[in-house]
Copies of this chain bind each other. A is one copy, B any other.
Amino acid sequence: MRSNGRNAADQLRPIKITTNTNKYAEGSVFIEVGDTKVICTATVDEKVPAFMKGQGKGWVTAEYSMLPRATQSRNQRESARGKLSGRTMEIQRLIGRALRSVVDLQALGERTITIDCDVIQADGGTRTTSISGAFVAMAIAINKIVQQHNLARFPISDFLASVSVGVVSEKPMLDLNYDEDSKAKVDMNVVMTGNGKFVEVQGTGEESPFSREEMNELLKLAEQGIAEIIQIQKDALGEIALKISSGQAGASV
């Protein structure tokens, strides 16, 4: 018997995606995966960072943070310590990279989308939950750009979601919560697109190296879980989902 009333190793925790939760942001989402809760906001800026200037292309970047009491015991704020931890930097680089893999930066034009993922409560899988929520917030923001600037193409090429998998008590499992994650001997975060391709695979066997067979089983679980999450994203996005699927900026009309 697993957390959140789950019976099976291949079962996701309950997922809830609430859209447009912030009155200012161009895109916003409150995503809950079991007890892990993340606010994702997308901000559109009509210019690009210095290193991208003059290429006629856009940019997508992400930032990630946890509230001090998102966790069992309180964590010191990174603003108070005066610097970001290695873990935070690693995660926000991952989120940005993953999102960019499904954005047509040329079609987006010279603008930057910044996705902020703020973890309100953490119970395992905060980085994968952030990616799944960030994609939806970004899609809402991009849809606004498409409408305001009459873009010809919808600049998102595919859906994108992420889940964690791991080997717990010798058993491959999908969507680990914090307890399961602490006991896992292998831990893998997978990011995939709507058409079933991999964008990121990050597997770590610090406690115990893993075999090719274990890896294959984990990837299979991840594929299935991500397909389910993408369906929930589609439901949350409604008409915008159709535009992504068709690649047509005006699909909803």
Taking a contact as CB atoms under 8 Å apart, the answer to whether B209 and A101 are in contact is yes
List B contacts of A206 (CB < 8 A).
Answer: 97, 100-101, 199
Tell me the minimal C-beta distance from A230 to chain B in angstroms: 13
- Known pairs A77-B65, A78-B79, A114-B74; A209 contacts B219 (CB<8 A): no
Taking a contact as CB atoms under 8 Å apart, the answer to whether A24 and B198 are in contact is no
Taking a contact as CB atoms under 8 Å apart, the answer to whether B198 and A201 are in contact is no
Tell me the minimal C-beta distance from A122 to chain B in angstroms: 9
Tell me the minimal C-beta distance from A10 to chain B in angstroms: 18
Interface string of A135-150 (1 = CB under 8 A from B): 0000000000000000
- Known pairs A78-B79, A90-B93; A121 contacts B23 (CB<8 A): yes
List B contacts of A208 (CB < 8 A).
Answer: 101
List B contacts of A43 (CB < 8 A).
Answer: 68-69, 73-74
State which residues 201-228 of A face B: CB under 8 Å.
201-212, 215, 219
Docked Cα-Cα span, A204 to B93, in Å, equals: 12
Interface assignment of A200: CB less than 8 Å from any CB of chain B: yes
List B contacts of A195 (CB < 8 A).
Answer: 209
List B contacts of A207 (CB < 8 A).
Answer: 101
Docked Cα-Cα span, A75 to B78, in Å, equals: 16
**B39, B73, B81: the one within 8 Å of A120 (CB):** B39
Interface assignment of A35: CB less than 8 Å from any CB of chain B: yes
Taking a contact as CB atoms under 8 Å apart, the answer to whether B203 and A198 are in contact is yes
Interface assignment of A175: CB less than 8 Å from any CB of chain B: no
Taking a contact as CB atoms under 8 Å apart, the answer to whether A63 and B41 are in contact is no
**B65, B123, B219: the one within 8 Å of A79 (CB):** B65
Taking a contact as CB atoms under 8 Å apart, the answer to whether B212 and A69 are in contact is no
Which 10 pairs from chain A and chain B are nearest by CB?
Answer: A86-B89, A197-B209, A78-B79, A41-B69, A79-B79, A43-B74, A201-B203, A25-B69, A90-B90, A68-B116
Which A residues form the contact surface with B (CB < 8 A)?
22-25, 28, 35, 39, 41, 43, 45, 63, 65, 67-74, 77-90, 92-93, 97, 100-102, 114, 116, 118, 120-121, 123, 158, 192-193, 195-212, 215, 219
Instruction: Known pairs A25-B69, A39-B120, A200-B202; list 9 more (Cβ under 8 Å).
Output: A63-B77, A68-B116, A82-B82, A102-B209, A198-B205, A201-B203, A201-B215, A202-B203, A215-B219
